[in-house]
Copies of this chain bind each other. A is one copy, B any other.
Amino acid sequence: MKRFFNAQSVTVIGVSNSPTNLGRAIVYGLIRYEFQGTVYLVGAKGGSFLGFKIYKSVAEVPETTDLAVLLVPARVVPDILEDCGRKGIKRVVVESGGFSELGDDRKELEERILQTLDRYDMRLIGPNCIGIINRHTGLALPFMPIEPLAPAGNIGIISQSGGVGGCILNDLGAEKLGYSLFASIGNKLNVNECDLLEYYLVDDKTKSIFCYLEGIADGRRMMEIAMKGEKPIVLHKSNRSEISRGIARSHSASLAVDDFVVSAACRQAGIIRVDKQSEAFTLLKGFQLPPVRGKRMGIISRSGGHAVIAADAAAEYGFELPPLPEDLIREVEKSARAGVIRFQNPLDLGDVFNLELYKLLAEQLLKNPSFDCVLFVHHYQPVFDTQPSRNLIRSIPEIVAKVGKPLALCVFSTRAEIQFNRENTAFPIFTDVHDAMKALAASRDYFNRKVYHFASRRPTGLSPSNIRFPLASETAMLDPTEAGSILQSYGFPLAPWKLAQDEESAVIASKELGYPVVIKTASPSVIHKTDAGGVLLNLKNTEEVREAYRKVSQLGRKVIIQKMVTDNGIEWIIGGKRDPQFGPVVLTGMGGVLVEIIKDVSARVGPICHEEAIAMLRETRAFRVLEGFRGQPRANIDALADMIVNVSWFLHDFPQIKEMDLNPVLITVDKAIILDWRIALC
């Protein structure tokens, strides 16, 4: 990727003298951003533009440039790429649209492109994008005219949509916040978000990353990259819903992925997912501050109302407001008139008109080791205090730089004043207390994140080697007896069971297992066994078993006789599925209404370790039930976590499993035992 962003020479292909030619905008961009390298233009009609000669073909260009950028009709792209390949150009950006986003009939065009890339060992960004920018070298390729309002800085941007990416640049520009790299990736035929993320994470100019995606190229790789990285990644992944599928397909040829899995994967990998542009921008502003290391916050506000709102927001986002320490009070009292400040946190400075004191307070509070961060709210109306307020605001970045701790600055004034302040300081200014709080919370959560990498060692006691799945079956649903045997061979604890194919063997099996027993249909075609009357519980003797067999066998001759587990415990569910983007996904939640109606389910991409399984359980609201709810004893949470880990390995070991359910799993004070199960193959 470095060869893209640090290109010293660029060939712009598709330039003409026509005033409607979009290629010219690329040339303008390189000039406006003061590209520190050499530019050549190519266009079939030749001529010149802005003093540059327009060569009629790539072959004629007197130099093999590091990079070529194409804005030509889709149908000629393969040929021109061939020209580039022959010329020895190894990196190309294709901005032209008209590929698979218009329909599958354009796939062939893409196929030819891929062959060319392969043949010449080239890499390609696009097609259907607005290209890339390196704000530090002036390499700016968008055909969309984006004024260089945002300065050079440390935010790296990846956007599948040129329009959305351009808007982030507008936002940055309006607040004079800087970026390092920008890439619009469109259909991501060759280079995808993972390639770029990997590069941004090592690029020394980039400190935080924003990524807008409509589809995910390789979810698992994205997770691995993020887990290893040490820079916050703010991901806006759209195309979440049924009704956005059509438009996403025709905009960037993106297919929908399971949105619930995307969210879970992000949480697991430490990626910060947002679903609003404005929220993304808010968080990026927060990451311009030094990291928030803890949850102890000091709030200073000139407006009492905003102090109340800030206290509410602090509670909402999990911050604590410790009392102001004595030594701080003494320090400040030296400078303040006695009695004008009521020393509580939030500190309301409404009655204090000496803005120098505000500065002192902000600095002292920020320095104080009892506080991890400060929220500083300043309200002024022009006429009053304009100059002192502007000075105060301008001094905040210095204080933050000096102390090296995070202070979020929230300013309320006329929009003209806010704009003035933004243009005169390269420091994030918030205009809503909740936004500032959210940004600080995101920083706190990121810098205190606990990321567990994918598990690399299979727990002892699991034996994948002896298991053979049936190769083909009429139905995707595995026969419950086969599924049971496989689960047991792998190492899962099932309640003791036996297959019975007629009434007599049902009676014999029941005696061998010992009463009470359960009879369940073993017919793979019955999905909701209980609803269908396919499960009868608590059978205490031969008579009851015979009667039950006669009922249940109406669904099929084969039944499972199972020892009835009468231990007290909690019914839990462990599920799993294979996701095309992420691989094995394990899910868990408390059985019954909680999973089915409340959707109190937690998910992870596997294989996972024990600690991750515990984190997963803690994420469910029903976790409190496991811990011992209303006088009940604590369930064996470790045994449950181990079983979740094992399911994640089971799914990892057998990619032929499409989905599975262990439902219910009974969790008692000493063990986790599977009472029913279901496996469907791909």
- Residue in B167, B171, B305, B530 whose CB lies within 8 Å of A214: B305
Question: For the complex, is A334 an interface residue (Cβ under 8 Å from B)?
Answer: no
| A594 proximity list for chain B (CB < 8 A) | 593-594, 598
A147 B593 Cβ-Cβ under 8 A: no
Contacts of A167 in B (CB 8 A): 379, 412
- Of all chain B residues, the one with the shortest Cβ separation from A173 is B414
Q: Does A75 contact B (CB under 8 A)?
A: no
Q: Which B residue's beta carbon lies closest to that of A306?
A: B163
Q: Residue A104 at the B interface, CB < 8 A?
A: no
Residues of B within 8 A of A346 (CB): 247
Q: A344-B246, A629-B597 are in contact. Are A383 and B308 (CB under 8 A)?
A: no
A166 at interface by CB-CB < 8 Å: yes
CA distance A307 to B162 in the complex (A): 13
CB A644 to nearest CB in B, in angstroms, measures 20
Binds B, one of A360-368, A554-562, A607-615, A618-626: A618-626
Digitize A143-164: 1 where CB-to-B-CB distance is under 8 Å, 0 elsewhere: 0111101000000000111111
Check if B434 sits within 8 Å of A170, measured CB to CB.
no
Q: Decide if A244 touches B315 in the complex (CB within 8 Å).
A: yes
Docked pose: A350 CA to B159 CA in angstroms: 17
Q: Cβ of A333 < 8 Å from any Cβ of B?
A: no
A308 touches B147 (CB 8 A): no
From 197 to 252 in chain A, residues with beta carbon under 8 angstroms from any chain B beta carbon are 212, 214, 238-244, 246-248, 250-252
A426 to chain B, nearest CB (A): 16
Please tell me the size bucket of the interface on A. Answer: 35 or more
* B344 and A247 contact, CB distance less than 8 A: yes
Least distance between A378 CB and chain B CB atoms (Å): 11
Choose among B239, B419, B600 the residue that contacts A598 (Cβ–Cβ < 8 A): B600
Report copies per complex: 2
Question: Which of chain B's residues have a CB closer than 8 A to the CB of A344?
Answer: 246-247, 250
Q: Does A397 contact B (CB under 8 A)?
A: no
> Inside 8 A of A174's CB, which chain B residues have their CB?
414-416
Measured CB to CB, the closest approach of chain B to A38, in angstroms, equals 25
Chain A, range 304-318, C-beta contacts under 8 Å to B: 304-309, 311-312, 314-316
Known: A163-B379, A170-B413, A312-B275. A305 touches B238 (CB 8 A): yes
Distance to closest chain B CB from A331 (angstroms): 22
Q: Are A305 and B251 in contact (CB under 8 A)?
A: yes
Considering only residues 522-562 of chain A, those with a C-beta below 8 Å from chain B are 528, 530-531
For A625, the chain B residues whose CB sits under 8 A away are: 593, 597
The answer to whether B308 and A214 have CB atoms under 8 Å apart is: yes
Whether the Cβ atoms of A596 and B305 lie closer than 8 Å is no
Given contacts A164-B303, A167-B379, A348-B250, contact A278 B435 (CB under 8 A): yes
Interface residues of A in 288-346 (CB under 8 A from B): 302-309, 311-312, 314-316, 320-321, 342, 344, 346
B-chain residues with CB within 8 Å of residue A616 when the two chains form the complex? none
**In the assembled complex, A51 has its CB within 8 A of some CB on chain B:** no
A479 in the interface, Cβ–Cβ < 8 Å?
no
A171 to B418, CA, bound (A): 11
Could you tell me the distance between the alpha carbons of A240 and B317 in the complex, rounded to whole angstroms?
A: 13
Expressed in whole angstroms, the minimum distance between the Cβ of A175 and any Cβ of chain B is 8
Q: Does A433 contact B (CB under 8 A)?
A: yes
**Residue numbers in B under 8 Å from A342 (CB-CB):** 250
Q: From the candidates B159, B315, B624, name the one contacting A597 in the complex (CB within 8 A).
A: B624
- A238 x B308 contact (CB < 8 A): yes
With contacts A239-B308, A278-B431 known, what are 18 further pairs, Cβ within 8 A? A144-B381, A144-B384, A147-B383, A163-B379, A164-B303, A164-B306, A164-B309, A170-B381, A174-B414, A214-B305, A238-B309, A247-B311, A251-B308, A276-B433, A415-B419, A419-B419, A597-B622, A598-B600
Q: List 26 A-B contacts (CB under 8 A).
A: A97-B351, A159-B305, A161-B306, A161-B308, A163-B350, A163-B379, A165-B305, A170-B412, A173-B415, A214-B308, A238-B312, A239-B312, A241-B314, A244-B311, A244-B315, A248-B311, A250-B348, A251-B350, A275-B434, A276-B433, A530-B631, A593-B593, A594-B594, A597-B625, A598-B598, A598-B621
Q: Enumerate chain A interface residues (CB-CB to B < 8 A).
A: 25, 97, 144-147, 149, 159-167, 170-171, 173-174, 212, 214, 238-244, 246-248, 250-252, 275-278, 302-309, 311-312, 314-316, 320-321, 342, 344, 346, 348, 350-351, 379, 381-384, 412-416, 419, 431-435, 528, 530-531, 590, 593-594, 596-598, 600, 621-622, 624-625, 629-631
